[in-house]
Structure 1
């Protein structure tokens, strides 16, 4: 087996487009390929999955331990001939500017994979060699598979860059990708447009492969990758008898598609049968559900359709009032609110499960890794449970003065039955304005928790659905 990590010299180097082109080219050669994404991003793995036909998984050096990351990699790469790990931000960028936690470089070393450095070489010549030498010498523990220049002006520009790179013989110059504006992935707030919306046509696949094969020496890249035997993955838990499983509804459509695949796998391993439904299309929930998981996404872009699906909203509100266990993250939390408003004040009614309102902002509201401690019993676990996650959104809870009076920070229900169940921290310190809204058996927050950060989260949710555990 062979593998590589794609590291950018900076954010915006074109890692995702290059990764998709490389995955498509490897598949066209008949190779079994598996893709991974470093960092908390939900959107890039969706595009990987469309290209490879197999699920792409997140790896994260801050939310998860080295052991958890390597276990995910081993388990998902077992039948692969080549693995491609798309990095996050610049190669050495991570949680802290003075450390490597959460960085692509850290992950490359943990997995023992060489790095292909991708850099925006627009208007560069000899300076590319200086940049490459700096990256090479910054961390002697990294291994390298070569350098690819992106945003190159012409084939002649690529030849000039190749000559300049002769000054850094430690780095193999693999080629220069010419600027192709029509290949750029469409973007919006929160990142790229999701795979569920864009799809991946055969015509786009062929153009990406042609773009890469005409500029990058793929044979040389594959030759530079060392062969290695992947150790066997840890034995998975024995399958659970179907009669002992619970049915967990998973919101899945263009409005809700932000889930860590490891979260879903752990829920299945704990005894949940995942039953997918669409809050946009389905007029009622699947039959005989024991709980709901409402992930993040873009409910604000589909607020009219969500608001118009009154029968499903009513059913969810009724089940929540009856005590059904429900866990919601970011966009899912917005769906459980009373309404979603745009920056101009136009609002659409949501399920009303929680006595809060949310409003979209024209600017980023919050971004970063988060530590969470449960201050009271929740659907995911008892008070004192700790986990790690990520927060990234352009909306906020806007009825602050009204909702704050309804939230009891001490752990017992305040007015409206709402409890703030989270004590949240960030790199800068405590974040008292980030809540975990808890009401009966509902838990909702802007924070996307990674269940791999605490192996008891998924079993805790399933045990509540089974009736083996109750919230005090």
Structure 2
């Protein structure tokens, strides 16, 4: 998993496609899921990826395919790390599907491709399938696609899928128009079916953990794709992506520790690489549910509380008093605990939702309150201000912040260990509140940006285990 390794090995090229859109909301997720389901029904082993820091789309990929989806990101992670993650994940797979972010060329600014789906497609040398919302156009699709095709000629834009098509005749008009665009195949048009649309809420689409999608729904998506798209042609035109050097994961320490990881419908936002890095560095992950489990897993030497939607399950979390007390006692004993966003809220005194306060773990002397508007959004670079369970003073890592809640009370009574800066390098405050041996804040760190943090966290748990 790390980039610092002397051992490398080659892999052969692999079939891959990037599903991009002309803009956000065009239907990339629905079509990506439909293609995954269709290819899986044909007996192919599919590996999914998502461009950007989002947790929700990868959750849907994972539920459908039964295997972890992977995050690719042009700012949190280096080009080398992204390529290595892609190649490593594709070992033994028949096809890779990369779901893009926003519009194909949309990134961090209006002048460059940085942070865009186009940039990632180039890094992977992967072909692009462009999704177009055709609900209010016919022949104009040709002009639109021609513009996308010629805007960056070194991008491998190979095919188009029309979404929200009104009728068979509408699909025919679109197909006829696309005949004028050279070297771009028209794969067909999907009609709009509300029953397979994924609803949204304040952090994006409804999560797969919160609203479990049945095998029947995924089957409907597969049938829809097979009926309206030329899937065989898509398989024929799939092109190979990068043949790169794989950087193997770090060797696990001999002495393993048990790490409790909160994972249920309330806490479901984890980068799979984070979990894998913790495992490689010697952690045995022991999953538990703060919503349903009365006790922590036995013999754990640390806790990892990820993000999610604790506010939606605040009542159930409050009712589970036995687990809240056990986590509080563990924190007071000095057990290493790392919590992000929703996990941070869970460790506070209470969560206020629409005027009602729900008691939480009550470790921190402040509460959190849900707001009707977004409080913070953006990439963050974190610098440790002091030594901590994540490493020594000065250690850096990158992550993302996105939340609709705020702190109530005086956080100044608790030391903050994260010095934050934005993607542009502008200081944007502090985070990472340290109490006993618990470090928690709103930032979702990606350990792939600095695997040393994962190693330090596991080492902190190992030290606690040896002293206990």
Aligned-pair CA distance for 1:326: 0.5
Given candidates 206, 226, 235, the residue that maps to 1:213 is 226
- Aligned counterparts of 1:98 and 1:468: Cα–Cα separation in 2: 49
Q: 1:2 to 1:326 in 2, by over 3 A?
A: same
Query: Could you tell me the TM-score, scaled by structure 2's length?
Result: 0.93
Name which of 329, 333, 357 aligns with 2:340.
329
The 5 Å alignment of 1:1-16 reads 1-16=14-29
Q: 1:86-125 alignment to 2 at 5 Å?
A: 86-125=99-138
CA shift, 1:209, in A, is 1.3
Contact kept? 1:463, 1:469, Cα under 8 Å? no
Q: In the TM superposition, what whole-angstrom CA distance separates every residue of 1:242-288 from its partner, at most 9, and x where no partner exists?
A: xx011110001110010000000000111111111111111111111
Match of 1:420 in 2: 416
Is this contact kept in 1: 2:124–2:242, CA < 8 A? no
Correspondence for 2:391: 381
Q: CA deviation at 1:201?
A: 1.9
State whether structure 2 residue 264 is matched by structure 1 residue 253: yes
1:177-216 deviations in whole A, cap 9, x for unaligned? Answer: 1111111012211111111232232321221112111211
Kept in 2: contact 1:62–1:95 (CA 8 A)? no
Distance 1:464 1:202 in 2: 41
Matched residue, 2:330: 319
Contact in 2 for aligned 1:387/1:451 (Cα 8 Å): yes
Q: What SS does the corresponding residue of 2:406 show, helix, strand or coil?
A: strand
> Aligned to 1:169, what secondary structure does the other structure show?
coil
Where 1:370 maps in the other structure, the secondary structure is: strand
Per the TM alignment, residue 9 of structure 1 is displaced from its structure 2 partner at its CA by 0.6
Structure 1 stretch displaced more, 232-241 or 87-96? 232-241
Which residue, out of 268, 276, 297, partners 2:287?
Answer: 276
Please tell me whether residue 403 in structure 1 is matched to residue 411 in structure 2.
Answer: yes
Question: Which residue of structure 1 aligns with residue 278 of structure 2?
Answer: 267
Change (3 A) 1:41 1:219: same
- For the 8 Å contact 1:373–1:423, the answer to whether it is kept is yes
Q: Secondary structure at the match of 1:389?
A: strand
Shift of 1:126: 2.1
Q: CA deviation at 1:4?
A: 0.3
Q: Deviations over 1:302-323 (max 9, x none)?
A: 0011011111111111111111
Partner of 1:349: 359
Mark the CA change 1:457 to 1:144 in structure 2 (over 3 Å): closer, same or farther.
same
Q: Secondary structure at the match of 1:197?
A: coil
Instruction: Extract unaligned runs of 5+ from structure 1.
Output: 407-417
State the 1:428 CA deviation: 5.7
Q: What is the aligned partner in structure 2 of residue 31 from structure 1?
A: 44
1:79-115 Cα distance to aligned partner (Å, 9 max, x none): 1111100011111112233222221111111111100
Q: Distance in 1 between matches of 2:251 and 2:345?
A: 37
2:302 to 267, 291, 295: 291
- The alpha-carbon deviation at position 427 of structure 1 amounts to 3.9
Counterpart check, 1:170 vs 2:175:
no
What corresponds to 2:3 in structure 1? none
Distance 1:229 1:356 in 2: 49
Q: Does 1:465 align with 2:461?
A: yes
Q: TM-score, normalised by structure 1?
A: 0.93
C-alpha separation between the residues in 2 aligned to 1:266 and 1:422? Answer: 21
Which residue matches 1:443? Answer: 439
Task: Give SS of 1:214's match.
Answer: helix
**C-alpha deviation, 1:466, in angstroms:** 1.6
2:314 to 300, 303, 319: 303
Identify the residue that residue 11 of structure 2 maps to in structure 1: none
Measured in 2, the distance between the counterparts of 1:212 and 1:89 equals 22
Cα displacement (A) at 1:239: 4.6
**Equivalent residues of 2:252, 2:279 under 8 A apart:** no
CA RMSD of aligned residues (A): 1.8
Q: 1:146 aligns with which of 159, 164, 167?
A: 159
1:432 to 1:445, Cα distance in 2 relative to 1, 3 A = same
Unaligned runs of 5+ in 2: 1-13
Aligned to 1:409: none
- Tell me the CA shift for residue 398 of structure 1: 2.5
Deviation at 1:226, TM superposition (A): 2.4
**Residue 81 (structure 1) aligned with residue 94 (structure 2):** yes
- 1:195 equivalenced with 2:203 (yes/no): no
Q: Does 1:22 align with 2:35?
A: yes
SS in 2 for 1:44: helix
Count of residues in Structure 1 that have an aligned counterpart in Structure 2: 453
C-alpha distance in structure 2 between counterparts of 1:304 and 1:148, whole Å: 43
Matches of 1:273 and 1:317, distance apart in 2: 22
The verdict on how the C-alpha distance between 1:230 and 1:51 changes in structure 2, with shifts beyond 3 A counting, is: farther
